[in-house]
Amino acid sequence: MARILSLREAVAELVHDGDTVALEGFTHLIPVAAGHEIIRQGRKDLTLIRMTPDIVYDQMIGAGCARKLIFSWGGNPGVGSLHRFRDAIQNSWPVPLEIEEHSHAGMANRYAAGASGLPFAVLRGYTGTDLPAQTETIKPIECPFTGERLTAVPAVNPDVGIIHAQRADRAGNVQMWGITGVQKETVLASARSLATVEEIVDELEPVPGAVVLPQWAVTAVAEVPRGAHPSYAQGYYERDNSYYQEWDPIGRDRERFEQWLATEVRGAERSAR
């Protein structure tokens, strides 16, 4: 039941101003092209969720798409800070950015609860840290059998969950392998979902370690070769490490960033097919 759409159609149809949107991919298979399409279509007031906001979220935040970020680690991995993210938090540029901050364990469990149709998850987490004082979505909970005190976090149920995968078949069954992070949970927790894929094939040959999302659990599939660049797609292309390095000076400077936006995203047609 997943419909095969172009990236442009899919984003136009699935992502609306004000939506809660999660783009997931843990280092691997980051749905960067979909993020750029959201910028290109000028979405705003989004609540963006992502465990590890990195370059693509820096770009979306810098482009003014987001009013809130829910996350657990925000940085340019191996390089340094996200300067657009900092500029938004510290100087409200281009728009103010609210944050809701968790740990990875907490976020992973929030997605798992969302995928499970539960309002919350229980974990051993955050104990003794300063996070619960800053984040309302972290609360204590008591075991009804032992009386032990643990931590509860609410489910996340995005309006739209977006992932990138290696392949889909023509019916829209989606297959990904290698590090698959929290992507299954993201799709299952979301009201609507989009999987961009490297290619659409006639048949999904089984692959060791692969996760398959059946077509009836995905709203739309869009074929976007290199859609995870500068991250990587195992079996297709390697991580473009120099892009991460080169992002740093661009992200540091509002003018260079605006220029980058104009030429590389708004003026580009990566979603043409």
Residues forming contacts to another protein in the complex (CB under 8 A) are 1, 26-28, 51-52, 71-75, 77-78, 81, 85-86, 89-90, 101-105, 108-109, 111-112, 115-118, 123-131, 134, 148-149, 173, 178-182, 184-185, 188, 209, 211-214, 216-217, 232, 234, 238-239, 241
Give the one entry of another protein, its own copies, none that residue 154 binds, where binding means its C-beta sits below a cut-off of 5 to 8 angstroms depending on kind: its own copies
Which residues, 196 to 235, sit near its own copies by CB under 8 A?
206-210
Q: Measured at the alpha carbon of residue 241, what is the angle toward residues 237 and 244, in degrees to the nearest 5?
A: 120
* d(C-alpha 218, C-alpha 212), whole Å: 11
* d(C-alpha 85, C-alpha 78), whole Å: 17
The CB-side HSE value for 130 (13 A sphere, CA atoms) comes to 0
Give the one entry of another protein, its own copies, none that residue 139 binds, where binding means its C-beta sits below a cut-off of 5 to 8 angstroms depending on kind: its own copies
DSSP string, 39-66: HHTT--SEEEEESS--HHHHHHHHTT-E
139-142/149-154 β-pairing: antiparallel
User: What is the nearest approach in angstroms of its own copies to the Cβ of residue 92?
Assistant: 29
Among 78, 128, 144, 267, binds its own copies (CB under 8 A): 144
Encoded tokens for 181: 């992070």
Q: Coil, strand, or helix at residue 197?
A: strand
Binding mask 165-194 for its own copies (x = CB under 8 A): ------------------------------
Query: Of the ranges 16-24, 38-46, 114-122, 193-201, which one interacts with its own copies (CB under 8 A)?
Result: 114-122
User: What is the nearest approach in angstroms of its own copies to the Cβ of residue 151?
Assistant: 10
Helix 55-62 vs helix 83-91: crossing angle, to nearest 10: 40
Cα distances from 87 to residues 61, 74, 95, 126, 238, in angstroms, run 9, 13, 9, 27, 30
User: What is the nearest approach in angstroms of its own copies to the Cβ of residue 150?
Assistant: 7
Among 139, 170, 256, 273, binds its own copies (CB under 8 A): 139
Encoded tokens for 203: 């048949």
Among 18, 42, 96, 117, binds its own copies (CB under 8 A): 117
User: What is the nearest approach in angstroms of another protein to the Cβ of residue 2?
Assistant: 12
| Positions that interact with its own copies (CB under 8 A) | 117-124, 137, 139-141, 143-146, 148, 150, 152, 154, 206-210
